[in-house]
Structure 1
Amino acid sequence: MLNIGCHLSVSKGFEHMGKEALDINANTFQFFTRNPRGGKAKAIDAEDVTALLKLTKENNFAQLLGHAPYTLNACSADENTREFAVQAMEDDLKRMELIPGNLYNFHPGSHVKQGIEVGINYIVAMLNSILKPEQTTKVLLETMAGKGTEVGSRFEELKEILDRVKLSDKMGVCLDTCHVYDAGYDIVNDLDGVLDKFDKIIGLNKLYAIHLNDSKNPFSSHKDRHEKIGEGSIGIEAITRIINHPKLKGIPFFLETPNELPGYAEEIKLLRSLYEE
């Protein structure tokens, strides 16, 4: 089965997101854990969470993906920004345990001209201060496009972070197709080669989720602008190869394309039609 969903708004509650996912023939979804451009987290209704857990179990959902806010930058040059990152992620991971066994994704951040090693040091320090042996949530580093001073556009950078986190079994990677293509990994003409490189450097056993997005910009542009499926420089043929690749079978795919719910429904319908069971 193709495990696929899209980004949904948590504003109407967890059960509502689950029902929206079912309405568009999705069997998972992604949501922001708090205001993506701010820092405030919505209060969680215990009955709403219980209803979601019942719905996902009854409908055989794949793992869900919580997404940290864009404002979370663990390697900022500003101490207050770094402190917010620690506080927000620590709170997010406590809240994620209300829906145990799922995934939490974050952008590694931007080192703001401090240097890549300084940035990695800050990220590692944050993770080592937050992760708990008892947590059931996998924390995922997202592959980035490499714009500005982003950390995480090279597989080697993600590996260094993963290698230095003490509770490494709590960590993994979310691969974004737009980001890796914009970063210079040619998933259009050499998907096998890119996956082999990922496996050699990081290990495919660490790949827990995929953001499935086309790209508005050309290969190796380092721009990070998502496009609708089949309408960008990656194209439908390459995306078809991605969802059907034997090394990616079973991994949940999350659409972050510029769509509203009807657009996501059409993309999911298209992708399911292209999937080879």
Structure 2
Amino acid sequence: MHVGAHVSISGSRVSSDEETPPYDDVRNAVHRQVAFGGNCGQIFTTSPQVWAQPEIDDEAAAGFREATAEKLDGPWVIHSAYLVNLCTPKEDLRRKSRESLQAELDAAEKLGVPYVNVHLGAHTGAGVEGGLDNAAEVIDSLAIPDGVQLLVESDAGSGTKLGGEFEHLAGIIDRTETDVGICIDTAHTLVAGNDLTTPGAVDETIGRFDDVVGLEHLEYIHLNDSKHDVGTHKDEHAHIGEGYIGEDGMRAIVNHPDLRDLPFALETPTEDGRGFEWNIEKTRELRDA
């Protein structure tokens, strides 16, 4: 089973005996993933809250690639900055989004990471069709390196954000000449209006995704439970099996024949004395042999 967490590249220690350098370094992500018990996962290459370019020197990149090959089994994915908005009608914001996303794609090539994950963003008045057109224009202007694939993530769908409906994901695939993949976030999918709380509901939702988008485009899953119910459009993650998806829904997701071989990256909270290690172990407990 390929399961891990979204881990930091910071030099702060997880435990006193961890081998992380005392400064930001992508190699820290591998040590941290191992400490949590994960074998794949997700990173930010820089602060997601600001327009900043990744700063990864050749030594760190080589160390990251070597440590990943030695200690992990599944693929990494880089999550783009939160500021990126591909759907916006504002040309300046689209330009900054394009430059930021291109930098992440180039970083992925340097690190040997096969995926970069991005949200479509909000159309802010351009309308659904206009927003999808804007996003497709940005995506097709990118120079995507060989061996790297751009993944569009499903969204909770609040306000004018796109990606909450499967039709939005299909729309961006249809509009682009780029080989775009999809990353489904289970918490986002639930609160956007798709039931995942029972085995039957999971089957129905996956079947609808296949009909609208196509399972052949699904490359990665953000496995998160939700603190809010179906259709609320509120994005707040919960511990695995302890939110509105619950153990029955989570067990159905991680064992579903169309999903079980995909990589799962957790973005669960650190609270109540539990963090990624507990959630990764819980995920494995829900997995059938």
Contact 2:109–2:147 (CA under 8 A) maintained in structure 1: yes
Contact 2:116–2:151 (CA under 8 A) maintained in structure 1: yes
Among 207, 227, 248, the alignment partner of 1:216 is 227
TM-score of the two chains, using structure 1 as the length reference: 0.94
Q: How does 1:1-277 map to 2 (within 5 A)?
A: 2-11=1-10, 12-100=24-112, 102-132=114-144, 134-168=145-179, 171-189=180-198, 190-259=201-270, 263-277=275-289
Letter in 2 for 1:94: D
Contact 1:131–1:167 (CA under 8 A) maintained in structure 2: no
Contact 2:54–2:104 (CA under 8 A) maintained in structure 1: no
Looking at structure 2, the residues matched to 59 and 145 of structure 1 have their Cα atoms a distance apart, in angstroms, of 33
Letter in 2 for 1:143: S
The gaps in structure 1 that reach 5 residues or longer are none
Aligned CA-pair RMSD: 1.6
Looking at structure 1, the residues matched to 248 and 260 of structure 2 have their Cα atoms a distance apart, in angstroms, of 17
SS of the equivalent of 2:161 reads coil
The gaps in structure 2 that reach 5 residues or longer are 11-23
Task: Report the alpha carbon displacement of residue 158 of structure 1 after superposing the two structures with TM.
Answer: 0.8
Task: Report the alpha carbon displacement of residue 73 of structure 1 after superposing the two structures with TM.
Answer: 0.5
Task: Report the alpha carbon displacement of residue 52 of structure 1 after superposing the two structures with TM.
Answer: 1.7
Contact 2:46–2:53 (CA under 8 A) maintained in structure 1: yes
TM-score of the two chains, using structure 2 as the length reference: 0.90
Letter in 2 for 1:67: H
Task: Report the alpha carbon displacement of residue 79 of structure 1 after superposing the two structures with TM.
Answer: 2.2
Runs of 4+ in 1 over 6 A off after TM superposition: none
Looking at structure 2, the residues matched to 212 and 246 of structure 1 have their Cα atoms a distance apart, in angstroms, of 16
Letter in 2 for 1:240: R
SS of the equivalent of 2:32 reads helix
Looking at structure 1, the residues matched to 53 and 45 of structure 2 have their Cα atoms a distance apart, in angstroms, of 7
The one-character-per-residue Cα deviations of 1:202-259 (angstroms, maximum 9, x if unpaired) are: 1111111111111111111111111122221111221111111111122111111112
Task: Report the alpha carbon displacement of residue 173 of structure 1 after superposing the two structures with TM.
Answer: 0.4
SS of the equivalent of 1:231 reads coil
Question: Which one is further off, 56-65 or 178-187?
Answer: 56-65
SS of the equivalent of 2:37 reads coil
Letter in 1 for 2:9: V
Contact 1:143–1:176 (CA under 8 A) maintained in structure 2: yes
Contact 2:268–2:279 (CA under 8 A) maintained in structure 1: no
Looking at structure 2, the residues matched to 101 and 19 of structure 1 have their Cα atoms a distance apart, in angstroms, of 16
SS of the equivalent of 2:162 reads coil
State how many pairs are aligned: 273
